[in-house]
Structure 1
Amino acid sequence: MMDVLVIADDLTGANGTAAAFANAGMRTVTTTVAQLTAVPDGFNTVVASTDARHAPPSRAKTLVEQAIQTAWPARLVCNRIDTTMRGNIGATTEAVRSTVESCSGERTICVVAPAWPQAGRVTVEGHQLLHGHRLELTEVARDVRSPVTRSDIAGIISQQANVKAAHVPLSVITLEDNSVRDHIAALIQDGANTLIVDALTDGHLTMAMRGCVDAAKLIDQHVRWVTSDPGPGSVAMAEALGLTATAPHPPVVVLCGSASALTRTQLNRLQSERDAWLIKAPTLADSITPDSAACAQVLGQLIDDALPGQVVGLATAFTAADVNPLPPGVSGEDVCTNLATALHMALADRQIGGLYVSGGDVTAAVFEQLDTTGFAVQTALEPLCVGGQLLGGPHTGLACVTKGGLVGDGASLIRAVDYLHTLQTR
């Protein structure tokens, strides 16, 4: 039996949720509903994409039902929805709940938690906000395929499904007693089958999901939980149910010497979509050359302070203003060597879970500084973006991705670190 089955409405969202579970210590794979039976054993979490965000509601509902029936049994089933509530939210939310209830023969309650606080999506008073604004007042109201004209989650669900929804407000979630547990237990006893939870932070999601699990212990009838959310809420529920691994994973380190516009886009997207801690490499006084000692200190502190599996690192440029021509007497080799030296110093007494290096010259300098004798190539993630393992030296076996600075698209770096997380959880 798998621990977690996630049914997502598109592949990009599936990969994002898969990365969240991988960061939580679970061996995770992304697939499609059609390929569910081909997934090999050994994965804690299976994320299947229906690609049905813009399909008719009846079609989206059928695909969710098929996915659960094909993969059953699972300890937790999650419905991965869009953070801005586009698509077939109501149809898929109720399909997950009712199908699991049918397959398990147990009373099943769905927790709808669309907040993704790190991405600026929060839930307040049962309404979904995008960077502080109601959805109908943002650009998603003008979405060509799935315009969102309201932000009240219960109302959005009711457009496609008849559920008995109840609200778990932030005022209850944030109390430091048993209020959230007791509040949820009362809602369950009153017959609610769908709970909509507020959240401004990941911590609020954690408290809400723990409250659900604790509330079920007060109910005479056994309760099975399912979730409908973009990912963070499902991870919090898996943690509350004791399904996630307890062993922390070391952080993934990004070292980027390329200053191209494409690379800057990739870095900024990684920071916004994966909560990466990336710092502009400190430089020598009156110079653009990285200061090896200062860079090593900063990088070492980032590694020490990182959350399990978090992405941290150094880059030479994040904006166009950071790009300057090399002054007389300074070579590109100095920049690369000093970055590589800083990495070598920072890793002298620290463990990391993976390494991403961008720029051919930086990669060569890193391999030299780390006493690498070879690179065991495992896969080409895309042209000139290669995944493998370092061979030789003190870091032999370390998972690594190398990429040219002028290749890929805006999401290439995200895909690379997701690949490293997948290797880390195997």
Structure 2
Amino acid sequence: MNEQAKSMIIIADDLTGANDTGVQFARQGMHTEVLLEGTTLSASSDAAIIVIDTNTRASVADKAYRQVQQIAKQARAARFLHYYKKLDSTLRGNIGVELQAILDLHLHDFAFVMPAFPKNGRTTVGGNHLLHGVPLSATEIAKDQKTPVFETVLPELLRKQTGAKVGHIGITDLCQGQAAITASIRQHLAAGCTFISCDAWLEEHFLLAAQAVLEVSDHILWAGSAGLAECLPQLFGWKEKQKPQYPTLVVAGSISAITRDQVTQLLLNDYELIEIDVANYLEQPHLPLPCLEKALALLKQGKNIVLASGYHLQAIERSKAAGAKRSMSAFEVSEVTAKILGETGAAILRQQDVAGVILTGGDTASAVCQALGVTGIRILEEIAPAIPLGKMKTPEGKSFWVITKAGAFGNSDALVKASQKLTTRRLP
């Protein structure tokens, strides 16, 4: 494991804040653990990123100072190189006090404070911290029962809570770019500032400012919301190694108009259709599985595919006619269709790695599972109303992410969204 990546401690003042900051690193594939209040920090953890919740947002200042400094001392003993103080993006809590508790250990040259979170409507402009464009002092945050915020000019809040000298990077510096920001930071440090706060109303301001900060010092106490934290993996080069990108397999056995519309949407999103001609199979049942080689070839090229029967209405009529010639009922033809889809889908999954499989229609889903020898599905979450994501394992030990959907169910984009879930989900 990258030793540098192991060396960041994040100190938060509440649990949800700890989690929403930690996830910025977990998104990059970094092993991230959140420790609850009262947990002793250990150097033996395998986690790349340790986030600890002190639960001090509503504490009196002296208590918050002591608790945060205790954690910072533990981090020092464990030889963490990088420190991040998670701040509430609406400035609630003992922001300055907790930062001062860490600075008083003399591990850092200064605290760089950037609590904006533009994605969620929290911005800092001209030092004024805004919620959806409104100064915090004019919002409900000022009336918070536990932690009301009365001072919402960021550098003033830090001065009032610490008595320290505070410099601020404002609109002009940000608009002029990295060199101007670096020069401004140096001027503030020369003037004796130990806190430097910074405006941010656009996402790109975080990386821009952070790069400028690193031009000045390697010993920074980083302080902000999840917004600033999000750029740090890129800043420090803690990017996840690129994982293989696998295609997705959809097996659609339902002949409902709803499913047909959903498959059409997949085809508009670069899926390749492979339609099994059931009529041909009924006429020559001893032939190899239809379309298997074609499906495997497309998947190996990275193409997402839909394995279907009955997408074209004439194919349904041909299968019914072929079945009638053999005195088969529509139900019997349907059973044979599910069996073909199940065996073909299972053969594909045994031979080709996929991001996951989407099974539409109960008979089809059951047939694929039976052909694979799967005896159950572990349900994990609901990705849309009554459309679950799960995981299944074959007797040989191969695991698959699986989404099942009833045939005549869901909006027209249901399969597209299901596919997106499989391709964006991080596998444990």
Superposed displacement of residue 183, structure 1: 2.1
Amino acid at match of 1:122: T
Local SS of the residue matching 2:81: strand
Alpha-carbon distance in structure 1 between the residues aligned to 2:399 and 2:186: 49
Corresponding residue for residue 405 of structure 1: none
- Kindly report which structure 2 residues correspond to 1:240-255, keeping only aligned pairs within 5 A, or say none: 240-242=235-237, 244-248=238-242
Do 1:27 and 1:43's aligned partners in 2 also have CA atoms closer than 8 Å?
Answer: yes
Q: How far 1:234 moved relative to its partner?
A: 3.0
Partner of 1:266: none
Q: What CA distance in whole angstroms lies between the structure 2 residues aligned with 1:366 and 1:175?
A: 63
Which residue identity lines up with residue 393 of structure 2 in the other structure?
A: L
Q: State the match for 2:23 in structure 1.
A: 19
Query: Aligned runs of 1:196-345 on 2, under 5 Å?
Result: 196-216=197-217, 224-242=219-237, 244-248=238-242, 291-295=262-266, 297-298=268-269
Partner of 2:127: 126
Is the contact made by 2:84 and 2:221 (CA closer than 8 Å) also made in structure 1?
A: yes
Distance 1:52 1:174 in 2: 36
CA contact (8 A) 1:80 1:230 kept: yes
Higher RCO (CA 8 Å, separation ≥ 6 residues) = 1
**Counterpart code for 1:196:** S
Give, as a single letter, the amino acid of the residue that structure 2 aligns with 1:245. Answer: K
Q: How many residues align?
A: 323
Q: Which runs of 5+ in 2 are unaligned?
A: 248-254, 272-337, 382-387, 405-420
The amino acid that maps onto 1:161 is T
TM-superposed CA distance for 1:247, in Å, is 2.5
Question: C-alpha offsets along residues 305-361 of structure 1, whole Å, 9 cap, x if unaligned?
Answer: xxxxxxxxxxxxxxxxxxxxxxxxxxxxxxxx9xxx9xx9xx999975x99x9xx98
Matches within 5 A, 1:15-414: 15-37=19-41, 41-72=45-76, 73-99=79-105, 101=106, 104=107, 107-176=108-177, 178-216=179-217, 224-242=219-237, 244-248=238-242, 291-295=262-266, 297-298=268-269, 373=374, 389-392=391-394, 396-397=398-399
Hey, what does 2:318 align to over in structure 1? none
* In 2: Cα distance, 1:33 partner to 1:202 partner: 31
In structure 2, C-alpha distance between the alignment counterparts of 1:29 and 1:116, rounded to whole Å: 22
Give the SS at the match of 1:174.
helix
- Please give the TM-score of this superposition, normalised by the length of structure 2: 0.61
Query: In the alignment, what sits opposite 1:305?
Result: none
CA contact (8 A) 1:26 1:44 kept: yes
SS of 1:78's equivalent in the other structure is: strand
Question: Are 2:12 and 1:8 aligned?
Answer: yes
Counterpart residue type for residue 391 of structure 1: K
Contact 1:24 1:235 in 2 (8 A): no
**Separation (CA, whole Å) in 1 of partners of 2:24 and 2:225:** 10
- Supply the distance in 2 between the matched residues of 1:247 and 1:423 (Cα, whole angstroms): 14
**Contact 2:369/2:375 (8 A) holds in 1:** no
From the superposition, tell whether residues 205 and 188 of structure 1 become closer, same or farther in structure 2 (CA, over 3 Å): same
Distance between the aligned counterparts of 2:110 and 2:400, measured in 1? 42
Contact 1:3/1:45 (8 A) holds in 2: yes
Letter in 2 for 1:27: H
Shift in Å, 1:175: 2.6
Letter in 2 for 1:15: N
For residues 54 and 402 of structure 2, the distance between their equivalents in structure 1, rounded to whole angstroms, comes to 31
Return the alpha-carbon distance in structure 1 between the equivalents of residues 69 and 87 of structure 2. Answer: 15
Distance 1:191 1:378, change over 3 A: farther
Work out the CA distance in 1 between the residues paired with 2:396 and 2:199: 47
Residue 104 of structure 2 aligns with an amino acid whose one-letter code is S
Secondary structure in 2 aligned to 1:144?
coil
AA in 2 matched with 1:13:
G
Describe the shift of the 1:36–1:421 C-alpha distance in structure 2 as closer, same or farther (beyond 3 A): farther
Alpha-carbon distance change, 115 to 250 in structure 1, aligned in 2, over 3 angstroms: farther
Does the 8 Å CA contact 1:23/1:421 hold for their aligned counterparts? no
- CA–CA distance in structure 2, aligned partners of residues 246 and 20 of structure 1: 12
Q: Is the CA contact (8 Å cut-off) linking 1:210 and 1:240 kept in structure 2?
A: yes
The question of whether the paired residues in 2 share the 8 Å contact of 1:134 and 1:151 is answered with yes
Alpha-carbon distance in 1 for matches of 2:398, 2:52: 34
Query: Is there any run of 5+ residues in structure 1 with no aligned partner, and where?
Result: 217-222, 254-283, 301-336, 381-385, 403-416
SS of 2:47's partner is coil
Give me the whole-angstrom Cα distance separating, in 2, the residues matched to 1:199 and 1:366. Answer: 55
Secondary structure, in 3 states, of the residue corresponding to 1:95?
helix
Task: Decide whether the 8 Å contact of 1:6 with 1:79 is kept in 2.
Answer: yes
Return the TM-score normalized by structure 1.
Answer: 0.62
User: Are 1:36 and 1:48, in contact at CA under 8 Å, matched by a contact in 2?
Assistant: no
Change (3 A) 1:41 1:377: farther
Q: Assess, with a 3 A threshold, how the Cα gap between structure 1 residues 55 and 299 changes in structure 2: closer, same or farther.
A: farther
Query: Highest CA radius of gyration, 1 or 2?
Result: 2
Deviation at 1:117, TM superposition (A): 1.3
**Offset of residue 152 of structure 1:** 0.4
Contact 2:24 2:229 in 1 (8 A): no
**Are residues 10 and 392 of structure 1, via their aligned partners in 2, closer, same or farther at CA, if it must alter by over 3 Å?**
same
Equivalent position amino acid for 2:264 in 1:
A
